[in-house]
């Protein structure tokens, strides 16, 4: 059975290095590649009724926006690599969602860039990367 590498995508310059690294890895081990973009979303925030009413529409728009701006251009640029690449976009908390997708698609490794999040919230609640390392059931590679 061939291996599957899951790469977290956020559309930043720094993130591109993680993608390049994953491609090198995938070529070496003839692995499949899954690019996953997580749109930050929590089911426990408070919303007005008007936001609730439009939520479905906004959700579709968010997903389409990410496909057009980030995912599709990236898939196009990688088309010549000769690898089997799938792009996924979903809502949720970043670490939880990446782990969920990794389990669902039987991934053997998760690759993410170091996310330059230095807010107070990160100090209190820990970063996405830290959470990923603690919760993951498979090896996690962090590309600086």
Partner 1 sequence: MKKQSIITGTLAFLLLMLMPMLAFAQEAGGGFDALVNKIFHTVLGPFVSLIFFSVSINGVSFPLIVAWLLIAAVVLSIKFEFVQFKGVKHSIDLLRGAYSDPDNPGEVSHFQALCTALSGTVGLGNIAGVAVAISLGGPGATFWMIIAGLFGMAAKFTECTLAVKYRNEYPDGTVSGGPMYYLSKGMSDKGKPRLGKAMGVFFAVMCIFGAMGGGNMFQGNQAHQMFSNTFGLFVGSGWLFGLILAILVGLVIIGGIKSIAKVTDKIVPFMAILYVGTALIILLVNIAQIPAAIGVVLAGAFAPKAIAGGIVGVLIQGLKRAAFSNEAGVGSAAIAHAAVRTKEPLTEGYVAMLGPFIDTVIICTMTAMVIVITGAYNIEGLSGVALTSSAFQSVFPWFGTLLAGAVLLFAFSTMISWSYYGLKCWTYLFGESKGSEISYKVIFCIFVVIGCSASLGPVIDFSDAAIFAMSITNVIGLYMFMGELKVDMKDYQARLASGEIKRYK
Q: Which two tokens stand for residue 21?
A: 């690294």
Q: Figure out which of the listed residues 46, 80, 124, 144 binds partner 1, where binding follows CB under 8 A.
A: 46
Q: Is 121 in the site for partner 1 (CB under 8 A)?
A: no
Q: What is the DSSP string of 59-88?
A: HHHHHHHHIIIIIHHHHHHTGGG---EEEE
To partner 1, the closest distance from the beta carbon of 125 in angstroms equals 15
Does residue 33 contact residue 23 with C-beta atoms inside 8 Å?
yes
Is the sign of the CA dihedral 56, 86, 110, 64 positive or negative? negative
Binding to partner 1 by CB under 8 A, coded x per residue (else -) over 56-95, reads: xx-xx-xx--------------------------xxx---
Q: Which is nearer to partner 1, 6 or 22 (CB)?
A: 6
CB of 68 to partner 1, least distance (A): 17
> Among residues 1 and 49, whose Cβ is nearest to partner 1?
49
* Residue 105 found at the interface with partner 1 (CB under 8 A): no
Please tell me what DSSP assigns to residue 126: -
3-state secondary structure of 37: strand
44 binds partner 1 (CB under 8 A): yes
- How far apart are CB 103 and partner 1 at their closest, in Å? 10
118, with CB counted inside 10 A (0-12, 13-18, 19+), is: exposed
Binding-site ranges for partner 1 (CB under 8 A): 39, 41, 43-57, 59-60, 62-63, 90-92, 97, 100, 104
């Amino acid at each position: 059975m061939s291996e599957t590498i899951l790469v977290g995508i956020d559309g930043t310059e720094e993130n591109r290095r993680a993608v390049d690294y994953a491609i090198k890895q995938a070529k070496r081990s003839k692995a499949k590649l899954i690019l996953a973009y997580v749109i930050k979303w929590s089911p426990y925030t408070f919303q007005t009724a008007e936001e609730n009413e439009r939520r479905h529409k906004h959700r579709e728009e968010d997903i389409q926006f990410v496909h057009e701006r980030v995912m599709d251009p990236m898939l196009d640029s990688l088309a010549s690599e000769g690898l089997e690449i799938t792009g996924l976009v979903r809502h949720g908390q970043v670490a939880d969602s990446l782990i969920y997708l990794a389990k669902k698609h039987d991934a053997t490794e998760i690759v993410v860039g170091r996310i330059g999040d230095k807010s107070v919230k990160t100090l209190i609640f820990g970063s996405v990367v830290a959470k990923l390392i603690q919760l993951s059931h498979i090896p996690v590679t962090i590309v600086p």
